[in-house]
Amino acid sequence: MTFAIDVSGLSKRFGGKTVVDNFAIQLGEGRICGFLGPNGSGKTTTLRMLCGLLTPDAGHGTCLGFDLRRQSNEIKRRTGYMTQRFSLYEDLTIEENLGFIARVYGLDRRNARVAAALANLGLSERRRQLAGELSGGWKQRLALAGQMLHEPRLLLLDEPTAGVDPRGRRGFWDEIHALAGTGITVLVSTHYMDEAERCHEIVYIADGRVLAHGTAADVVSEARLFTFVGEGEGVDALASEIARRPGVEMAAAFGAALHVGGTERAPLEAAIAPYRRPPFVWRETEPTLEDVFIHLMAGAEARAA
């Protein structure tokens, strides 16, 4: 496999605080990797190091075959980076925004590139609409179109669908998969579990450290969690009470149901035993990706404490 990203030991400090600590990843061309972790875990800093906007304090590697330290300008020319916040001009039309970006990059065939970007992302009919009038989903499509003008081979997307409605998120992800199908590699940070499950692989970091990496199925399997689900009227109100019992690492309400999890089955069975009575019904089930991430987050918080 040819790796679009192949880095190891990346670290970044601001003052006395280590924000990214010994980060390593190998990501193949045309792969979509979900980048997950709590706020402040170092995701944005890592993305900025990978695209050459920040120089790591330690570590080495390549992006798109170029050395992360010595050839950062070459990486920038071939990478599209979408920030969390919509950063285009809201008082310009879609077409004007794209034309401006093309001029900033100094691109040739500007009109043709803008027309192609509009068509590829379904923006042609809206090209004269002001960017400030767009919904969250269409703004993100515009931002993505702007990052595709220079024909990048790597896309780094920082929470691109935050605040976007479910329909808009689905449409955006359809576009991401279409781009990956052409060989473009995508690293995308997200807090949505359904989006994580649409990625070819996922990385979970906390306190700047990689805690899990693999396919969604691999990450769930390697967590070695046991999960029991309780159902019945009022079972969700038992979360705080059950959470205090020995061996329970997680007790979280999911709608009207209660997920109770931990790394050993016997203590969990003992914890829920007093509540195995009507109207409550309990069953063991496979842990979800969200169960695993709650478990990982809790472990990171315990270590920090």
Average pLDDT, integer, range 281-300:
87
Q: CB under 8 Å, gap of 24 or more: what pairs does 237-241 form? A: 238/275
Cα-based angle 32, 85, 14 (whole degrees, multiple of 5): 85
Q: Which domains, from first to last, does the chain contain?
A: 3-219 (3.40.50.300), 226-286 (3.30.70.100)
For helices 136-148 and 166-180, give the axis angle rounded to 10 degrees: 20
Overall residue count recorded for the chain in this entry: 305
For residue 298, pLDDT beyond 80: no
Task: Decide if 110 contacts 150 (C-beta within 8 A).
Answer: no
pTM attached to this predicted model: 0.88
For residue 266, pLDDT beyond 80: yes
Q: Give the residue, 221 or 299, on which the prediction is more confident.
A: 221
* Per-residue confidence (pLDDT) for residue 302, from 0 to 100: 67
Task: Decide if 23 contacts 46 (C-beta within 8 A).
Answer: yes
What CA–CA distance (Å, rounded) separates 262 from 272? 12
Residue ranges of alpha helices (H) inside 84-156 are: 94-105, 110-120, 136-148
Q: Tens digit of pLDDT for each residue in 159-176?
A: 988 878 888 888 889 989
For residue 151, pLDDT beyond 80: yes
